[in-house]
Structure 1
Amino acid sequence: MYVLLYYIIGYRKKTVKENLDLVFPDKSEAEKKRITKAFYHHLCDMTVEAMKSLTISDAEMKKRFQFQSLDVIQDLIDKDRSIALMCAHYGSWEWIFVLQSYFNVKGYAVYKKLRNPYFDKLVKKIRAKYDSYLITTKETVPTLMRAKVNGDLNICGFVSDQSPKIQSAHYWTEFMGIKVPVYTGAEMLSKRIDMSVVFFKTKRIKRGYYETTFELIAENAKEYDNYDITDTFLRKVEAQIYEAPQYYLWTHKRWKHRDKVPAEFQ
């Protein structure tokens, strides 16, 4: 897969190069090429891991995707707190859904509906295997509000490092040293519905094996000034990337709006 994707198809190699040149201007071309090749190897591994999710056993999944500090989640559940679980496109986010097998609460993940109905159905099937359910952006507020009214605790995952549409951007800040619009939905929804906010940091131990650590960002989101939670999340993501950049999703056009910063954010 790597030979096909990297050497023959050259999938988004131009985007990867532009992103690495932007965020790592001081790295040599040789170092950036090393990161690029390692990233494409990892991207291929994640693709296979996602497909394997359909048939992998619970025991094998738990052996390959282990959790540290589960007590952070359990402590919040014991306090009758629902949780907004924030993460980035880093390491492996596909297998996080096995988390639901450790707790007796509902699991949701906010996602963008795929254009291909077959693949959209397939992705939902993979998530449902672990009692986690995908909800679109439009479904998020009514779904979580209904859960709150019914007293149903839940863990809702937000992949919050994407680039929002510029016309709907409310907040711009630096990410990897470059000012861009950022998603604030997880923070604002946590304040509105009174959820706790937790960051999950995934580290690749070796090929096909990961370890996730949970870090509390805010037990009561309402106590924080606007965008403090979002900024804290971004700093944690940056630390991951600087530590091992090859495991970030460099094919995303994350910095595409960098030249359109509104005057009030300059």
Structure 2
Amino acid sequence: MSKTTPPVPAPAPPLAHKVQNIAAQSVLRGALLLPYETRVRLVGWLVQTVLAPLSGWNKRVRANLDLVAPEMSEAEKHRISARVANNVGRTLIEIYSGDAFLDRVRDAPQSGPGIEAINEAKKQGRPIVLLTAHIGNYDAVRGAFAQAGHEMAALYKPMRNTGFNDHYVEAVEQIASPVYPTTSRGIASLISHLKKGGTIGIVGDIGSTKAPLLTFFGQPAHTPVSAAEWALKYDALLVPIYGLRQPDGLTFRIFADTPIPHGEPEKMMQTYNDSVEAITRAHMDQWFWIHKRWKRPGRATAKP
């Protein structure tokens, strides 16, 4: 008789990951005991005053602004750095707030030329790709449209800290489900949902060295073209859409830009980059400038 080889146990997470996860859970669980508005303000303040300086986010924000807006004053760069970190903190605890967050986005005002097209596509049962960005709270769109009757599915990128990733995914699923990891199986499940006439939410302003170089704020930026390719293959409506934070810092409005015409995938995604740039220029302190979005000059050449 052949012996069955026992499964190889998963390696234990690094001690640093354990410590990070315990610290994060302590803050999040403690904040969730507070009234909604208090917790959102508190976690925004904590990220702004503690995490952002320690993690180097402020330096990264300043470096990105130096690259794409060298004419900006130092005082304005400092203001944006603080506001960006605060918005990241608010976004995180909002995602963990489940029903309380959904209450805030359920009746969020919607505007822009893409709203009518989305509603019409839904009536026709046509697949829809909602292409959002890291601005305001990107999950405001998903939460609002799921509550409006869209069969929403989305992707998430698994985090290296598996302990944190587990409870983060649980929180994301409370806003709208299903969500799939960016693995081959997860992407296949997402595409299957789209093929059936569903709506998917994609965050497109991420860098990947495997993606073509397009331009963003006039600088070379790797931009995945998967969303455009899926829209072409399954005749899906492709709409840039954003959940923008209102001046009160607690509520949102949803803006859907002009649907992107079908064509060459890289041209379609350049149109998306241009849309994100325009909405970011109007709300400079809401885009996640903490990302490594650009190839630095001299290392690569952008497509015209």
TM tier, shorter chain? Answer: 0.7 to 0.9
* Letter paired with 1:146: S
Match of 2:197 in 1: 153
Question: Is 1:50 matched up with 2:95?
Answer: yes
Match of 1:29 in 2: 74
Deviation at 1:116, TM superposition (A): 3.0
Identity %: 21
Kindly indicate whether the alpha-carbon contact (under 8 Å) linking 2:153 and 2:190 is maintained by their aligned counterparts in 1: no
Deviation at 1:146, TM superposition (A): 3.1
SS at match of 1:163: coil
Question: Is 1:175 matched up with 2:199?
Answer: no
Q: Which has more strand, going by share of residues? A: 1
| Superposition RMSD in Å | 2.5
Which of 247, 254, 258 is residue 286 of structure 2 equivalent to?
247
Match of 2:259 in 1: 217
Match of 1:125 in 2: 170
Unaligned 5+ segments in structure 1 are none
Question: Is 1:162 matched up with 2:206?
Answer: yes
Which of 149, 154, 157 is residue 112 of structure 1 equivalent to?
157
Kindly indicate whether the alpha-carbon contact (under 8 Å) linking 2:60 and 2:290 is maintained by their aligned counterparts in 1: yes
For the pair shown, which has the larger CA radius of gyration, 1 or 2? 2
Deviating 4+ runs (over 6 angstroms):
none
- The number of residues matched between the two structures is 253
* Letter paired with 1:75: E
Deviation at 1:43, TM superposition (A): 2.1
SS at match of 2:185: helix
Match of 2:268 in 1: 229
* Letter paired with 1:209: T
Give me the TM-score of the superposition, normalised by structure 2: 0.74
1:147–1:11 CA distance, 2 compared to 1 (3 A): same
Deviation at 1:124, TM superposition (A): 2.8
Match of 1:202 in 2: 243
Kindly indicate whether the alpha-carbon contact (under 8 Å) linking 1:145 and 1:193 is maintained by their aligned counterparts in 2: no
1:257–1:6 CA distance, 2 compared to 1 (3 A): closer
